[in-house]
């Protein structure tokens, strides 16, 4: 528990680290993981905003689209649709960037980039699933960039399709398998560079950016220096025929610009398929998939909270400006046929063609390495958080310099599988869909944080709102299905499967769950709307406070009441005896985790409320008054029976409390730091016969009396340790069970009213139990006690009236008529019976013969029932009668089996619509 000596800020985020039992304790986990350490981060962080964010983001966004697909986009879509695609793509990107900036400036960002931000915002299930999807997107993007580089290499060095003889520099044979071979060699080169480390790449990337910038300048200058010219381009067609195209470069020309304004979707020579808006946009959007390149380097940044937003925004603005100018330049200077038939046309129209060649090679190679490094960092963070278990466990291994080399090898192997696609355009749609899904997740994370209204969500970046987040989510999802409905549906299904897997597999994290903040926000609003003044008997449901002295002997009763609540409130209450004035701290606060872990182990849907009091009776009064909130407050008190039976230890019987049922992890993250041995040790052994009792008979009966005075219904449960089949793993469906209901007050034979408030409450509770999952197939029997030998035969009319009432109440039950003349004759004179109903007088002592006769009657008719519902008489007003009252109840229920004695004080049935 936190004290005034606990540090306000731990230098890391507590997570899933082996060997850690409590969040905030020192561990031996790697600081880069972000998965929870109590030790300062010792990893050197070397990169600033420019080298760590701007440079990799710019290079990733330029990649191969800048040099090899600008003509493809303008040629097929035209300038106007090309600009529309550019604005749509950058609008989606900009909305996502606002969310990234908000999240990254709301706290310390560790290694893992986008995965770290999503997982720490939305929790392990959503974060882990989206993290893996984002990793796959990065892997596919790496394959795209490598295939683009191979395409550029073959444009210069590939053999002419019409000739099998090498001519000049064209010495490389071309075919599908040769393309895969060249891509494999390029990937090996990327692997070697990435194994050296991200720091060397980051500084090398600056040199690459200089080269790309020089290439761009040469492209913008070339129309001023290069005169118009014509070319002949040759392609291998889909029918293995060779096609020749006459194309031209016109320089700045108004006619060329006018001809290039509209779309002209035609055959793509690289895939031999006809293009449309969706595939062209998918290819163009790959230029926008690098916005998280800087965020993925978060583990190497000096100040990620400052560098990520600043560097990303500047990089996106710069790349947008370059693409906008380049689209206009190309549309004004190049014939459409040139743009469609030669994706590498920049080399043909440059003042010095090697400029473009070097720029393409550098941009493609750096984008591929950036994707490989980014993907490996995401995979490394996933492995450190142990969300996917053994398959990713080796990816947590790092070199002495901190480079996750195993994760790099994993990434390289998967990227090698991607290059078997053979063509860049063939997998561009899949890459775009994966990225859009990841961007939608980032927007969702920011939206959830904003909607949760958590006081600790105070990002220093304020240029965002829930409107931008929601618009970003919608736009990403819409564009996903516009690009490729099949890929989009498959990716969402994969995401849902990963969510389910992590939900059932992942251990508890200490990252914080955004779902809890959202639930709190909504529940508070709905609780305020739940007006107790609008309560109606038609919608009544049991809201139960079950007082538990020791769960070891009460688990079966807890499980039974869980079936009895019918979707209502269920609270486990416990009174700790003590005086806070003489204690250094409140002992109750430290017990909540143990009780909540007990609730988890039993699988019941219950809250826990504990209190400290001088006596059990006073503590129960406190709980009855203050438990719950608004319209959700207990209306029924359930107590175990007060008798001399030796309780049984349920912990020794249920397999859920055996060591073999627990997971193998020793980190204590199951049940929030409460493992099975500590759970068993917390609750004391069950009481022995000679052990002193904390509760006297007078106090116990006083609790019952207090609850009735507070207008609470009361239930006393006896022999529920004999009830079987209530565990969460039980296969019993209730078909062989019987529920017996005795609605008459058996201790007062003169009260022949079967339809008073208490009797109807008894019927309602039995009906509620019969509607629960484990009891829905059980048979319910109602026993009517009649004096058949009496001269007054009114019981026949009463029986018909009662049957009619059951029909009106829609209660399906069989009615059993039980003559009990032989029992009533032991009761006493009738003139004394009237006096007994005056609760202000001492209760008349019932004879042992009468009590024994009632017990025998119950044994005769209900011995085989699974559970019995009996009428609980009102407790005596004088405390001197408490032991006598309990003795009567004990005698009547002796050896019956699971029995619930019920006294209802509130109307709960309704026959109207």
**Interval 562-606: pLDDT, tens:** 988 888 899 999 999 999 989 899 899 889 888 988 888 888 999
**Mean pLDDT value of segment 741-757:** 81
Q: What is the mean pLDDT of the chain?
A: 82
Residue in the structure block whose two tokens are 């009966």: 701
Poorest-pLDDT segment among 161-165, 623-627, 695-699: 161-165
At 653, the pLDDT band (50, 70, 90 cuts) reads confident
Q: Which residues contact 538 (CB under 8 A, 6 or more apart)?
A: 910, 912
Residue 742 pairs in a beta bridge with 870
Rounded to whole angstroms, what are the CA distances from 392 to 281, 369, 385, 389, 675?
34, 21, 10, 6, 26
Which pLDDT score, from 0 to 100, does residue 106 have?
79
pLDDT above 60: residue 876: yes
Tokens of 251: 């320089």
DSSP state of 393: G
Give 44 or 65, the one with higher predicted confidence. Answer: 65
Tell me how many degrees the CA angle 805-807-808 measures, rounded to the nearest 5: 65
Which pLDDT score, from 0 to 100, does residue 462 have?
83
β-pairing, 273-274 vs 267-268, is antiparallel
Tokens of 845: 């002592």
At 669, the pLDDT band (50, 70, 90 cuts) reads very low
- Sign (positive/negative) of CA torsion 247, 252, 254, 260? positive
Residue 784 pairs in a beta bridge with 817
E-only strand ranges, 404-517: none
Which pLDDT score, from 0 to 100, does residue 256 have?
93
Which pLDDT score, from 0 to 100, does residue 730 have?
67
Side-chain-side CA neighbours of 50 within 13 Å: the count stands at 5
Give 527 or 717, the one with higher predicted confidence. Answer: 717
3-state DSSP assignment of residue 786: strand
* CA–CA gap between residue 198 and residue 179 (Å, rounded): 28
At 506, the pLDDT band (50, 70, 90 cuts) reads low
Which pLDDT score, from 0 to 100, does residue 803 have?
83
pLDDT above 60: residue 665: no
**Mean pLDDT value of segment 32-52:** 56
**Mean pLDDT value of segment 777-806:** 77
At 332, the pLDDT band (50, 70, 90 cuts) reads very high
* Contact predicate 854/747, CB 8 Å: yes
Rounded to whole angstroms, what are the CA distances from 623 to 226, 338, 583, 635?
88, 82, 21, 12
CB atoms within 10 A of CB 839: 14
* CA–CA gap between residue 304 and residue 113 (Å, rounded): 9
pLDDT above 90: residue 234: no
Poorest-pLDDT segment among 135-139, 454-458, 902-906: 454-458
pLDDT above 80: residue 184: yes
* Contact predicate 360/424, CB 8 Å: no
* CA–CA gap between residue 607 and residue 208 (Å, rounded): 60
Which pLDDT score, from 0 to 100, does residue 113 have?
67
pLDDT above 80: residue 40: no
Tell me how many degrees the CA angle 392-396-399 measures, rounded to the nearest 5: 140
DSSP state of 172: B
Rounded to whole angstroms, what are the CA distances from 86 to 236, 327, 488, 632?
31, 9, 21, 54
At 703, the pLDDT band (50, 70, 90 cuts) reads very high
Residue in the structure block whose two tokens are 């829609």: 810
Which pLDDT score, from 0 to 100, does residue 17 have?
33
pLDDT tens readout for residues 77-135: 999 999 999 999 999 999 999 988 888 787 766 666 667 777 877 778 778 888 888 89
pLDDT above 70: residue 381: yes
Tokens of 146: 């490598």
Q: Which residues contact 10 (CB under 8 A, 6 or more apart)?
A: 23, 24, 38
- Sign (positive/negative) of CA torsion 473, 479, 483, 486? positive
Which pLDDT score, from 0 to 100, does residue 315 have?
93
pLDDT above 70: residue 25: no
Which pLDDT score, from 0 to 100, does residue 620 have?
95
Question: How far is C-alpha 563 from the chain's CA centre?
Answer: 26
DSSP-assigned states of every residue in 321-371: HHHHHHHHHHHHHB-HHHHHH-TTGGGTTSSSHHHHHHHHHHHHHHHHHHH
pLDDT tens readout for residues 207-219: 888 999 999 999 9
pLDDT above 70: residue 9: no
Q: 724, 720, 728, 727: which is closest to 737 by C-alpha?
A: 724
pLDDT above 90: residue 449: no
Please state whether 113 falls in left (phi above 0), alpha (psi between -120 and 50) or beta.
left
Tokens of 348: 């043909």
pLDDT above 90: residue 668: no
Q: Which residues contact 353 (CB under 8 A, 6 or more apart)?
A: 347
Give 842 or 157, the one with higher predicted confidence. Answer: 157
* CA–CA gap between residue 841 and residue 726 (Å, rounded): 42
Poorest-pLDDT segment among 64-68, 232-236, 407-411, 832-836: 832-836
Q: 135, 649, 141: which is closest to 366 by C-alpha?
A: 141
* CA–CA gap between residue 518 and residue 522 (Å, rounded): 6
- Sign (positive/negative) of CA torsion 529, 535, 539, 545? positive
At 701, the pLDDT band (50, 70, 90 cuts) reads very high
The helix (run of H) or strand (run of E) holding residue 717 is: strand 713-718
DSSP state of 65: I
pLDDT tens readout for residues 519-528: 888 888 888 8
Residue 574 pairs in a beta bridge with 610
**Mean pLDDT value of segment 337-354:** 88
Which pLDDT score, from 0 to 100, does residue 222 have?
92
**Mean pLDDT value of segment 171-182:** 86
pLDDT above 80: residue 814: yes
Which pLDDT score, from 0 to 100, does residue 164 have?
55
**Mean pLDDT value of segment 735-746:** 89
Q: Which of 250-264, 378-392, 666-680 has the highest mean pLDDT?
A: 250-264
pLDDT above 90: residue 441: no
Q: What is the dihedral of CA 731, 736, 737, 743, to 10 degrees?
A: 160
């Amino acid at each position: 528990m936190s004290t005034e000596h606990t540090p306000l800020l731990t230098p890391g985020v507590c997570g899933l680290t082996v060997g850690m039992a409590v969040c905030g304790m020192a561990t031996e986990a790697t600081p880069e993981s972000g998965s929870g350490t109590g030790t300062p981060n010792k990893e050197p962080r070397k990169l600033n905003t420019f080298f760590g964010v701007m440079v990799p983001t710019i290079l990733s966004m330029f990649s191969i689209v800048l040099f090899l697909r600008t003509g493809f986009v303008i040629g097929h879509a035209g300038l106007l649709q090309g600009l529309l695609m550019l604005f749509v793509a950058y609008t989606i990107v900009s909305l996502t960037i606002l969310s990234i900036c908000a999240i990254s400036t709301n706290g310390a960002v560790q290694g893992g980039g986008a995965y770290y931000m999503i997982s720490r915002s939305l929790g392990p299930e959503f974060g882990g699933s989206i993290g893996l999807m984002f990793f796959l997107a990065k892997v596919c993007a790496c394959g795209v960039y490598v295939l683009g580089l191979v395409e550029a290499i073959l444009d210069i060095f590939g053999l002419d399709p019409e000739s099998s003889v090498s001519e000049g520099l064209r010495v490389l044979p071309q075919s599908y398998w040769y393309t895969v071979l060249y891509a494999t060699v390029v990937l090996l080169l990327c692997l070697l560079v990435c194994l050296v480390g991200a720091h060397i790449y980051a500084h090398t990337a600056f040199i690459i950016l200089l080269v790309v910038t020089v290439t761009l300048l040469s492209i913008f200058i070339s129309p001023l220096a290069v005169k118009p010219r014509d070319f002949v381009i040759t392609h291998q067609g889909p029918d293995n025929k060779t096609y020749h195209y006459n194309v031209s470069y016109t320089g700045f020309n108004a006619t060329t610009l006018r001809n290039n304004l509209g779309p002209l979707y035609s055959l793509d020579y690289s895939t031999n398929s006809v293009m449309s808006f969706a595939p062209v946009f998918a290819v163009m959007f790959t230029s926008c998939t690098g916005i998280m390149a800087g965020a993925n380097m978060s583990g190497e940044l000096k100040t990620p909270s400052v560098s990520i937003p600043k560097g990303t925004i500047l990089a996106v603005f710069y790349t947008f400006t370059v693409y906008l100018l380049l689209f206009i330049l190309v549309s004004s200077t190049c014939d459409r046929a040139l743009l469609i038939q030669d994706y590498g046309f920049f080399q043909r129209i440059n003042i010095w063609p090697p400029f473009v060649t070097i720029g393409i090679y550098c941009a493609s190679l750096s984008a591929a390495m950036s994707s490989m490094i980014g993907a490996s960092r995401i995979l490394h963070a996933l492995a450190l958080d142990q969300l996917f278990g053994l398959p990713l466990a080796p990816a947590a291994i790092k070199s002495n310099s901190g480079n996750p080399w195993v994760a790099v090898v994993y990434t390289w192997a998967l990227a090698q599988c991607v290059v078997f696609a053979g063509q860049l355009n063939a997998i561009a749609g899949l890459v775009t869909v994966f990225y859009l899904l990841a961007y939608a997740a980032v927007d969702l994370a920011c939206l959830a944080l904003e909607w949760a209204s958590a006081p600790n969500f105070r990002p220093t970046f304020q240029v965002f709102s829930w409107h931008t987040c929601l618009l970003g989510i919608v736009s990403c999802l819409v564009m996903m299905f516009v690009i490729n409905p099949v890929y989009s549906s498959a990716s969402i299904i994969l995401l849902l499967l990963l969510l389910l897997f992590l939900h059932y597999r992942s251990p508890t994290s200490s990252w914080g769950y955004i779902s809890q903040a959202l639930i709190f926000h909504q529940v508070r609003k709905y609780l305020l709307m739940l007006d107790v003044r609008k309560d109606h008997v038609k919608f009544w449901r049991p809201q139960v406070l079950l007082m538990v002295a020791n769960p070891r002997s009460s688990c079966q009763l807890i499980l039974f009441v869980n079936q009895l609540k019918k979707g209502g409130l269920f609270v486990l209450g416990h009174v700790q005896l003590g005086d806070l004035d003489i204690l250094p701290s409140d002992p109750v606060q430290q017990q909540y985790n143990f009780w909540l872990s007990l609730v988890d182990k039993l699988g019941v849907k219950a809250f826990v409320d504990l209190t400290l009091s001088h006596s059990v009776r006073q503590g129960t009064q406190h709980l009855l008054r203050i438990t719950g909130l608004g319209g959700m407050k207990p209306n029924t008190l359930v107590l175990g029976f007060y008798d001399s039976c030796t309780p049984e230890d349920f912990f020794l019987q249920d397999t859920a409390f055996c060591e073999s049922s627990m997971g193998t992890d020793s980190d204590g993250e199951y049940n929030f730091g409460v493992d099975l041995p500590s759970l068993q040790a917390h609750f004391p052994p069950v009481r022995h016969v000679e052990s002193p009792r904390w509760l006297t008979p007078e106090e116990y009966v006083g609790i019952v009396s207090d609850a009735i005075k507070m207008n609470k219904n009361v239930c006393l449960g006896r022999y529920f340790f004999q009830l079987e089949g209530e565990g969460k793993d039980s296969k019993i469906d209730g078909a062989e069970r019987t529920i017996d209901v005795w609605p008459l007050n058996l201790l007062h034979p003169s009260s022949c009213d079967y339809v008073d408030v208490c009797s109807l409450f008894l019927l309602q509770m039995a009906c509620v139990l019969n509607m629960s999952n484990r009891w829905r197939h059980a048979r319910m029997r109602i026993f009517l006690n009649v004096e058949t030998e009496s001269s007054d035969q009114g019981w026949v009319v009463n029986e018909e009236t009662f049957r009619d009432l059951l029909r009106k109440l829609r209660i399906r039950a069989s009615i059993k008529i039980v003559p009990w003349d032989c029992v009533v004759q032991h009761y006493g004179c009738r003139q004394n019976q009237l006096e007994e109903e005056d609760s202000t007088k001492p209760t008349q002592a019932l004879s042992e013969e009468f009590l024994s006769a009632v017990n025998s009657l119950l044994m005769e008719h209900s011995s085989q029932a699974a559970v019995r519902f009996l009428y609980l008489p009102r407790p005596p007003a004088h405390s001197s009668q408490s032991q006598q009252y309990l003795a009567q109840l004990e005698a009547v229920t002796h050896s019956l089996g699971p029995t619930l004695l019920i006294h209802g004080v509130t109307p709960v049935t309704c026959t109207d619509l």
